Structure 1
Amino acid sequence: MLVPVSWLKAYTELDVPMDVFCERMVMSGSNIEAVEEKGAEFENVRIGRVLRVEPHPNADRLVVVYVDVGTDEPVQICTGAPNVVEGAFVPVALDGSRIPGPLHGQEKVEGGVVLKAGELRGVLSNGMLCDFSELGFADSVIPVKYRDGIWIIDGEYEPGSDLVKTLGLDETVIEFEITPNRPDCLSMVGMAREAAAVFGHRLRMPETDCVRVSDELSSDHIKISIENPELCRRYAGRVVKDVRIGASPWWLQHRLMSAGMRPINNIVDITNYVMLEYGQPIHAFDLRHIRGGEIRVSTAANGEKFTTLDGQERTMTGDMLMIRDAEGSIAIAGVMGGLDSEIRSDTSTILVESANFSGDSVRQTSKKLGLRTEASSRFEKGIDPNLAGQACDRVCHLIEQLGAGTVLSGTVDVYPSPRLPVPCDIRPERIARIIGIDLSEEEIESYLNALEMTTEHADGKLRVTPPTVRQDLTAEIDYVEEVARMHGYDRLPMTMPKSNVESLRTQRQMIRDEAKTVLAGQGVNEIQTYSFVSPKSVDRIGLAPEDPAKRFVQLLNPLGEDTSVMRTVLLPNMLDVFVRNTSRSVEAMRAYELGNTFLSEASAEASDSGLPCERESLCIAVFGEDESFFTLKGIIEQVLAVLGVGPLDFEAESRAAAYHPGRCARISCGGKLLGLMGQVNPAVQETYDLARPVYAAELSFEDVYCLVDLEKKYRPLPKYPAMKRDFALVVTEEVRVADIEREIRAQAGELLESVQLFDIYRGGQVPKGSKSIAFSLTYRAGDRTLKEAEVNEINERVLTALKQKHRAVLREM
């Protein structure tokens, strides 16, 4: 926000050098982006009076002007300005003068431009008549009538007067960065309130009283009603008659231009001036175009067409708040007025609107229409409804002051639920504990009182009541910050915390860290991908329309279609990472992601509350010449074994669309399904344009958490030797290894220490439709050395059971 210092001085004293002022404001929490000294690039620029204008003898588009600049003789200047006339007061830069520039067709030069006398088409020119841009004004603030000509200065001046000092062009403008939580500072009064508090001065509020009001009442000409009080908290209106449209005085124009706004006419300029002054947007309607003398605040009809001040016809939706008269819409609430009711040169009676609209409503309307204005940007951040009445009266005061109209008595003010200040109890000892310095209660009160807060003592606490403009103050910690910044952040000592804070990892953190350590040891790299994805991402892995993973949590305000929903599975992101790496000539890779997935309330797995459910998942994937289904299976077994999760069951699964129907398995433990693993379906692999097979697994880590056992169990080293037995069995292809292993454990009993599959063979020595699976069994007793006969008996029992149950035949090894 641009704040001219001269404007700021209208409300409070500024009796310190500018560098001190800026430093103190920054240390109190008001961040400054830039400071511009606007008069530094002027030298010997005067106000001149045009005595006569003559045609240029050698150029049709030039004239020769004789200007009185306070010297004995008039100064001869050649110019192409189309608006120069005799008797006009104009800015004159003489030979040797310096102006900010840039000159037409040239780039701006730091330090300004020094002018020299010279000839134009054979005629001597001893200077230049300046336009606004040559005097350093931005194109965006130059009045429309001066875009193509020199500046004609309104009023009477002494020829030869210094332009900068006479018109106050030696202005200092400070650009403040206003944070979203401080909409009260989006105004000159708001920044003056901050400055007054920091430097201990009094805040002078703008005058709002009207002295010469008409006996007529505003309520005789207009009636106001609010149909949606939740979207419009207050609507105040006041009528002004005998309006005289014209240019604003220079002091008003200059303040607007210094603050970054273009002057238009006296009525519009006053409404913009008060918006910058109070932070409260104002709108003025031509009363003759308000049909039925009635204002109604209500939502638009769905599909309603409305033409705004910029001449654009816009289509409204049913949730957009409108200002209506007896027959139709005349403005979009908080955004922009309508073309039909705008102020024109022949306007004689106006309605001054000062209202308070819901920030959420204005934001949604502004975004849907693609129409952002100064008013909408302020309403979006939130404005105190108590400002509406003050701002309305201030507009009327300025109209009276400038002689621009006759103000009618009274204000039509509809304010269903007035906003009241909300007190908060604070504890001085907590302030001391947080900011690290002991302040007396008197000091704390003085800082808060300086910010226009009232204080009183209650039950050993300090009860603070803020002004209603401070919507950001809702909790005790907010007042701690106010005290700290008023004391000065630079004055706070560097105090180390007094308490001993012991940081302990949660159970989940320990489990995650343990899993990540094991994965790193297996050569698996961690990746982290974006949680916002495209809804098409799950289509690429072939999920059916009814799959729960296609019931997304939708984002209300996405950056784009590619990030419009929250991910339900991790596999698509993992495959995207593999694609990115293979495009960079990476030929083998192991990766995992341990992250959150999100299920909508429509999913059966979502929480009972009806809210979206957030679940933690683990996706592991490998590709490369040496990688296989069993490589991935070994990684999973190792991770879960370290976490104490087991024994694991791997059962064939042929219905998972993302995986190869013959190379996919369900992973479960104790009957609880943990996830799926397998080779990525070749069709999916082709969709991602991956040359090598990818093996992937996705586990529900939420379910893993429930099974983890990290307790360290002590087991003494075995005193007695183990005995091993290896055998190979021929079974049909339908028999699962997991079923064989389960039967071995059941029959072998407590003496079985471990079972390990070490070979699977299919070939000429095995009947067609069968396979050979070889196991190594380790037996050990904790209290004795096992005898050969004892082990052979157990082994025989195991083989007999396998033959009976699975028709397994012992193969000669």
Structure 2
Amino acid sequence: MQVSIKWLKDYIDFDWSAEELADRFTMAGVPVENVIRADEGLDHVVTGRIEEITPHPDSDHLQICQMNVGGKERIQIITGAQNVAQGQIVPVAMVGAHLPNGMHIKKGKLRGLPSNGMLCSAGELHLDLTKLAEEEKDGIYILPSDTPVGVPAKDVLGLDDVVLEFELTANRGDCFSVLGLVREIAVLTGNEPKWPVIRCEEDDAAKTADLIQTGIEATDLCDRFSVRMVKNVKVAPSPEWMQQRLEGAGIRAINNVVDVTNFVMLELGQPMHAYDYDEITGHTLTARRAKAGENLHTLDDSSRVAKGEELVIADSEHPAGLAGIMGGLESEVTEKTTTVVFEAASFYGPSIRRTARACGLHSEASGRFERGVDVTNTPRALERACQLLQEMGACTVTQGIVDCYPQPKTPVTIDFTAAQINGRLGTELPGSRMVDILTKLGFVIEETGEGRYRATVPSWRNDCTYMEDLSEEVARIYGFDNIAGTTPFGRMMQGRQSARQTFIERIKQILAALGMTEELSFSFTSTELLDKLRVPQESELRRAIPIMNPLTDEAPLVRTCLLTSIMENAVRNFSRKNMDLRLFDVAPVFYPKQLPLTELPEEKTKLVGLITGRRQEVGWNQGNEQVDFYDMKGIVEELFARLGISKYTVEAGEHFALHPGKTACFKKGREVIAVVGELHPEAAENFGIKQKVYLFEMDVETLMKYTAKNFHFSSLPKYPAIARDLAMLVDEDVAAADIERVIAKHGGKHFTGVTLFDVYTGKQVAAGKKSLAFNLTFQSKDRTLKDEEADAAFQQILAAVEQQFHAELRA
């Protein structure tokens, strides 16, 4: 928001410069971002009269002007402008002036004759050319003939103003008005404000209630809806003073009716809208939700299709405007308008914000409704608008206001003690000083005991609900620089990572060392992503928490599954032709205990990984082999090895997002610690992926539970190992992992390991059978093992395998 110093001084007197006022505002918690001077570059520009004008003897287009600029002597200025004449009063840039366009005026000579200044055009003074007649835009700017001579040009041109540009925080909606800022100045200076007397004369016999009907259907989105009417309207330009106030606030003047609504919005902080009464179908205005598919035709001549969630102001047939954002084009006030309906309302801020963001349509009005307006202010705003238009002689005012206010706002009260506020601020202010500050800010204070008080919050301060809010009000007016700085007391503790944080860092380091790249993702998802990932309809993963005000419509849920995030990032990479990926993500997911939420959800940290594309980087000496299931399985096994997770089993498994038959579960006992597999073909098609993608998913808390806490080291073996190969025929559905478990169980005390080194099916193997070949190792720690001992263990293993799997030994 921006406002001119002149406008503020219309309501309160103060002696501070613009810079001092900006500093006081900022230190009081109403930050000023910038001080804009309308007269910048006009310090040495004055008004002057052309007393004599003669042609230059050595030029056919230059003229010599003898100028009266208010001094004892005339000055000579040579100009090439052709629109000047003797007796005219013009702006004169004296020697030493630095004009707004960057020009520096110095003494000089033109064709041998001295020139001590410059006559200025409108463009050189940075005047608003859109407000000037065509003949005033070119050549020297000619001032009215009664303009005094020798006075600063900025005073004559109305450029003697300074504009403060505020960067207000979202909670200070009350300061999005001139009177709100005046209220702050009154507290800071101690001066009494000159509040405008708001009263209009109801000089038209017609009753407003007989001419128009109003109502509120969406009572959760609209607290109050008020209208007032004016007749015999004469649409014309607004007065110069009003145009200057609006321009100082960055708003373009349009006509007296529209300018009045903007003026009241800026002055009182209450957005308004004006409707052409004759264009309101049924002469009815209702605040309701839009119907899905309705056409919203707004003043910017854009048509939008309603989704059914927007709040609109509708007549008896169709929407007449987007509530709190922009009016409708059909009911716009034009030069033909003779009867106007003024509307002022209080809307639910989050609804206005969502609609404005969805439509990409932010306005001065929506910005105020988003921050909250004073619900008690709507009749006052209507009265002010009618008063201003009436003072211009542009209307007559009908009898009464139609005010729909179904649930009047109950004033907020806050109990506090002086000791509470002093304890929070670290001050020793007496309670009377606090009462004085809060009273000046508009709070009504009642003493309920010794040092105990009850504050009734003014209707315009929607941000004050707790004692802490009152302490902030006291602190900012008393002055933060008047509060002594103290060092917080407390026991010093060494900052360190938790065991869980350290474990996660270790996981990241291991996976990065294995050539994978960590991704960072938002904690948001959508039903569409869950559908693409084939999450079953009955799955708990679909019980996601909806976000009240999502950043985008594409991600309205809090994620319950980390796979959606990594797949979304993978697709984004594919769209940019990055086809070789090795990604991992360690991040939280959120499970609600019940919906809607009544307590914080359960938060769990998940680990997911994704690989796809070439196994090696592109190079002249590298092959073009693609990664496969065993690359991903190897990454998981290496991660477990470095975390000290051992004695797990690997079994064929199932997962909704993974390919059946190409999915493995890593287990400790019956608990699954990791799932690895190829992306399901249907999921790949849903995401538009045309290459093999391999994924793993783990729970960090589960990994942490099984990671080794203590490590034991043994010396390298001194004695040689004995190896035996075991090749056998088994049924095709027998898992090698099951055979390895039996081998380990019956291998005896010298058994040290088993490795599957060959799998064969083909012509030399009967149908329904497969050949598996294992390498077995035996080794003693304290002596050289004998072949007879290894053979005995081998026979034990063979007997167990033959018995349990009906295996046949191959020669």
Change (3 A) 1:466 1:153: farther
**AA at the equivalent of 1:38:** A
Cα deviation 1:692-721 (Å, max 9, x = unaligned): x98x5412316726x815684698999x99
Equivalent position SS for 2:375 = coil
Cα deviation 1:721-766 (Å, max 9, x = unaligned): 9997754322347443321233245446xx85985334524589x9
TM-score (norm 1): 0.75
Aligned match of 2:352: 362
Contact 1:95 1:117 in 2 (8 A): no
Aligned match of 1:56: none
> Whole-Å Cα distance in 1 between the matches of residues 538 and 219 of structure 2?
44
Change (3 A) 1:245 1:687: closer
> Whole-Å Cα distance in 2 between the matches of residues 196 and 778 of structure 1?
93
How far the C-alpha of 1:379 sits from its partner, in A, is 2.3
Contact 2:654 2:663 in 1 (8 A): yes
Contact 1:596 1:614 in 2 (8 A): yes
In the alignment, structure 1 residue 775 sits paired with structure 2 residue 772: no
> Whole-Å Cα distance in 1 between the matches of residues 739 and 428 of structure 2?
75
Mapping of residues 751-770 of structure 1, within 5 Å: 756-758=753-755, 760-761=757-758, 769-770=770-771
In the alignment, structure 1 residue 731 sits paired with structure 2 residue 732: no
Contact 1:115 1:127 in 2 (8 A): no
Contact 1:143 1:262 in 2 (8 A): no
Equivalent position SS for 1:386 = helix
| Identical columns (%) | 29
**AA at the equivalent of 1:616:** T
Aligned match of 1:52: none
How far the C-alpha of 1:418 sits from its partner, in A, is 2.0
Aligned match of 1:665: 664
Aligned-residue Cα RMSD (Å) equals: 5.8
Equivalent position SS for 1:775 = strand
Aligned match of 2:520: 528
How far the C-alpha of 1:495 sits from its partner, in A, is 3.1
How far the C-alpha of 1:115 sits from its partner, in A, is 12
Change (3 A) 1:282 1:112: farther
Contact 2:723 2:776 in 1 (8 A): yes
Equivalent position SS for 2:244 = helix
Cα deviation 1:139-170 (Å, max 9, x = unaligned): 6xx44877985899999955546542245421
Equivalent position SS for 1:280 = coil
Contact 2:293 2:308 in 1 (8 A): yes
> Whole-Å Cα distance in 2 between the matches of residues 157 and 99 of structure 1?
25
Change (3 A) 1:210 1:152: farther
Contact 1:529 1:573 in 2 (8 A): no
In the alignment, structure 1 residue 279 sits paired with structure 2 residue 266: no
> Whole-Å Cα distance in 2 between the matches of residues 596 and 532 of structure 1?
11
Change (3 A) 1:465 1:562: closer
In the alignment, structure 1 residue 488 sits paired with structure 2 residue 488: no
Further displaced range: 646-655 or 185-194: 646-655
> Whole-Å Cα distance in 2 between the matches of residues 512 and 100 of structure 1?
62
In the alignment, structure 1 residue 804 sits paired with structure 2 residue 811: no
Further displaced range: 475-484 or 607-616: 607-616
**AA at the equivalent of 2:90:** V
Further displaced range: 639-648 or 20-29: 639-648
**AA at the equivalent of 2:35:** V
> Whole-Å Cα distance in 2 between the matches of residues 697 and 328 of structure 1?
52
TM-score (norm 2): 0.75
Equivalent position SS for 1:467 = coil
Equivalent position SS for 2:651 = strand
**AA at the equivalent of 1:592:** F
Contact 2:675 2:697 in 1 (8 A): yes
Contact 2:48 2:67 in 1 (8 A): no
* Equivalent residue for 1:171, pick from 152, 158, 161: 161
* Equivalent residue for 2:223, pick from 230, 233, 242: 233
Aligned match of 1:464: 455
Contact 2:632 2:696 in 1 (8 A): no
In the alignment, structure 1 residue 741 sits paired with structure 2 residue 733: no
Contact 1:652 1:665 in 2 (8 A): yes
Aligned match of 1:649: 649
Change (3 A) 1:282 1:317: same
Mapping of residues 694-709 of structure 1, within 5 Å: 696-701=694-699, 704=702, 708-709=705-706
Equivalent position SS for 1:355 = strand
Mapping of residues 161-310 of structure 1, within 5 Å: 162-166=152-156, 168-210=158-200, 217-219=207-209, 221-290=211-280, 294-300=284-290, 302-305=292-295, 307-310=297-300
Unaligned residue ranges in structure 2 (runs of 5+):
51-59, 617-621
**AA at the equivalent of 1:773:** F
Further displaced range: 312-321 or 625-634: 625-634
* Equivalent residue for 1:391, pick from 372, 381, 388: 381
Change (3 A) 1:560 1:338: closer
> Whole-Å Cα distance in 2 between the matches of residues 216 and 547 of structure 1?
63
How far the C-alpha of 1:277 sits from its partner, in A, is 1.0
Contact 2:728 2:810 in 1 (8 A): no
How far the C-alpha of 1:243 sits from its partner, in A, is 3.9
How far the C-alpha of 1:322 sits from its partner, in A, is 3.8
**AA at the equivalent of 1:377:** G
Equivalent position SS for 1:770 = strand
Contact 2:177 2:269 in 1 (8 A): yes
Aligned match of 2:57: none
Mapping of residues 84-99 of structure 1, within 5 Å: 92-94=90-92, 96=94
In the alignment, structure 1 residue 336 sits paired with structure 2 residue 336: no
**AA at the equivalent of 1:650:** V
Cα deviation 1:66-92 (Å, max 9, x = unaligned): 99999999x9999899xx9x9xx9983
* Equivalent residue for 1:352, pick from 342, 345, 348: 342
> Whole-Å Cα distance in 2 between the matches of residues 533 and 300 of structure 1?
27
> Whole-Å Cα distance in 1 between the matches of residues 189 and 709 of structure 2?
64
> Whole-Å Cα distance in 2 between the matches of residues 571 and 450 of structure 1?
56
> Whole-Å Cα distance in 2 between the matches of residues 303 and 574 of structure 1?
33
**AA at the equivalent of 2:381:** A
**AA at the equivalent of 1:472:** D
How far the C-alpha of 1:664 sits from its partner, in A, is 4.4
Change (3 A) 1:522 1:252: closer
Equivalent position SS for 2:19 = helix
> Whole-Å Cα distance in 2 between the matches of residues 243 and 429 of structure 1?
58
> Whole-Å Cα distance in 2 between the matches of residues 697 and 341 of structure 1?
58
**AA at the equivalent of 1:190:** G
How far the C-alpha of 1:354 sits from its partner, in A, is 1.9
Mapping of residues 26-175 of structure 1, within 5 Å: 26-42=26-42, 43-46=44-47, 92-94=90-92, 96=94, 109-110=101-102, 131=122, 134-137=124-127, 142-143=130-131, 157-160=146-149, 162-166=152-156, 168-175=158-165
> Whole-Å Cα distance in 2 between the matches of residues 580 and 506 of structure 1?
39
Contact 2:5 2:18 in 1 (8 A): no
Contact 1:525 1:590 in 2 (8 A): yes
Aligned match of 1:616: 605
**AA at the equivalent of 1:704:** T
**AA at the equivalent of 1:479:** L
Change (3 A) 1:268 1:134: farther
Equivalent position SS for 1:93 = strand
In the alignment, structure 1 residue 377 sits paired with structure 2 residue 367: yes
How far the C-alpha of 1:790 sits from its partner, in A, is 10
> Whole-Å Cα distance in 1 between the matches of residues 163 and 227 of structure 2?
33
Change (3 A) 1:268 1:117: farther
How far the C-alpha of 1:266 sits from its partner, in A, is 2.8
Aligned match of 1:54: none
Equivalent position SS for 1:708 = helix
Contact 2:281 2:316 in 1 (8 A): yes
* Equivalent residue for 1:422, pick from 391, 400, 412: 412
**AA at the equivalent of 2:804:** K
Change (3 A) 1:434 1:526: farther
> Whole-Å Cα distance in 2 between the matches of residues 325 and 90 of structure 1?
56
Contact 2:422 2:428 in 1 (8 A): yes
> Whole-Å Cα distance in 2 between the matches of residues 344 and 697 of structure 1?
64
> Whole-Å Cα distance in 2 between the matches of residues 277 and 225 of structure 1?
27
In the alignment, structure 1 residue 497 sits paired with structure 2 residue 488: yes
> Whole-Å Cα distance in 1 between the matches of residues 135 and 37 of structure 2?
24
Change (3 A) 1:189 1:697: same
Contact 1:234 1:357 in 2 (8 A): yes
> Whole-Å Cα distance in 1 between the matches of residues 216 and 382 of structure 2?
18
How far the C-alpha of 1:8 sits from its partner, in A, is 1.5
